[in-house]
Amino acid sequence: MRKIFASLDIGSCSIKLVVGEIQKNKLNVLSCIDVLSGGIKKGFIVNPESAELALKDAFSKTEEMIGLPIKEVLINVPCYNLECFISSGSTTITHEDKTIRNSDIVHAMQGSVYNKISENQELVSLLPTRYIINDEQPVENPLNMVANKLTVNDVAVIIPKKNIEALIKSLEKLKIKVVDIVVAPLADYYEFKSEETDKEVGAIVNVGSSSTTVSIFNKGILTSCEVIDIGSSTIDNDIAYIFKVSKKDANYLKEKIVVADLHIAQPSESVMLEDVNGESIRVSQYDASAVALSRLNEIFNLVKKQINLLTKKEISYIIVSGGISELSSFSSFIESVFGPKAQVGNVSEIGARHNKYSVALGMMKYYNSRLKMRDAEYSIFSLDEQEEFGGAHKRVNISDNSLLGKIYGYFFDN
């Protein structure tokens, strides 16, 4: 079965819907759509009608590109009041040959959160940190080992149910099934992770339109997360106010001429615009960059303080993502704030080479890793649809059956 996933990244400024296929542990982008958002604030749906119109637009454009309807997606959800806690669960190995299987690992992890999550909370992820067989022997990978008992230490990631309920309802109205939920920090980590990050303590920073998420990872495990209520749209507001131009023109200036290093900003390079009074105005690269950098410094000084509040451990890396990180000379800027341990995330997938897609791409990589843990297969398209997608001339309806059975199913399916 071809492993074809669809991921939906819902932001205040835009909605990204990406379809990708995992082949030989590499993600290939099949479709990448970015549409203006509506009715959404800081990841929450505040106007269902406007949000559903924007979502419908994203799905319609994707279906035009793919040639098949998208009826199942992974979604990212707001990180507000996200919590992480350490837990442990065990299971007895009942197979005749006493060989540990993927299902035994899942059963032990199920037990680790049994009766530990309140009714108003939702489990987002369980990340194993340690395996112990027969109550005495720690092992790196217990699969196929012979034992009577398996214990799994893990970190559970939970969020309030209110973070996801309205979004799921809106998608249900569009007859879209949510296969699983993912938080942006995990998605970003899986998009940018390396052998080095899997061994070290570091921070992932995603600057969104209306908020900035700061997350701490310890050897690939999410340990803490905080959302700062300020994002890149404040730069648009500042530019619009200072130069008395529309928000649309302010965004244009930010994306087209602003550089994140005043040393290379050119006073002679400028753009002619019409201000809100209808008068012509010339805005130089230097002046626009100075306004943007003033706000960027404020945002990243808050980020720096937040990292210090979230962990007392030594940070080995800081990866910054989000659309604003595509600004020219942004690497120089974050190095001036954090030093050489900071770097800009690098989205390398052909067809989506922009950091605004990091969460959508990372969701698929993260979800694929969870499927491997379950030794399960999944695709948004049936086998017949996969043949059609590959060029066959047969049209069928997408099945309503889901391999995972229900939302968030890989831990709690029957």
CATH 3.30.460.80 fits 3-78+164-230+299-389, yes or no: no
8 Å CB contact between 139 and 132: yes
pTM of the model: 0.90
Segments of the chain assigned to CATH 3.30.1490.110: 83-160
- For the CA atoms of 388, 361, 377, 148, what is the dihedral angle to 10 degrees? 180
HSE-up of 258 (CA within 13 Å, CB side)?
28
CATH 3.30.420.40, the chain: domain bounds: 3-78+164-230+299-389
Alpha helix stretches (DSSP H) within 80-154: 102-112
Beta strands in 78-220 (DSSP E): 83-92, 121-133, 137-139, 149-160, 177-183, 201-207, 212-218
In terms of Cβ atoms closer than 10 Å to its own Cβ (0-12, 13-18, 19+), residue 307 is buried
Question: Comparing C-alpha atoms, which of 226, 211, 235, 207 is closest to residue 305?
Answer: 226
Pick the CATH number of 83-160 from 3.90.950.20, 3.40.50.2020, 3.60.15.10, 3.30.1490.110: 3.30.1490.110
Phi, psi of 175 (to 5 degrees): 60, 40
pLDDT by residue for the chain (414 residues), tens only, comes to 789 999 999 998 999 999 999 998 899 999 999 999 999 998 899 999 999 999 999 999 999 999 999 999 999 999 999 999 999 999 999 999 999 999 999 999 999 999 999 999 999 999 999 999 999 989 999 999 999 999 999 999 999 999 999 999 999 999 999 999 999 999 999 999 999 999 999 999 999 999 999 999 999 999 999 999 999 999 999 999 999 999 999 999 999 999 999 999 999 999 999 999 999 999 999 999 999 999 999 999 999 999 999 999 999 999 999 999 999 999 999 999 999 999 999 999 999 999 999 999 999 999 999 999 888 999 999 888 887 776 533 333 333 443 333 444 444 444
Instruction: Provide the 8-state DSSP code for 399.
Output: P
Residues composing the chain: 414
Can you say whether the dihedral through the CA atoms of 259, 217, 370, 15 is positive or negative?
Answer: negative
Angle at Cα 23 formed by Cα 103 and Cα 3, nearest 5°? 55
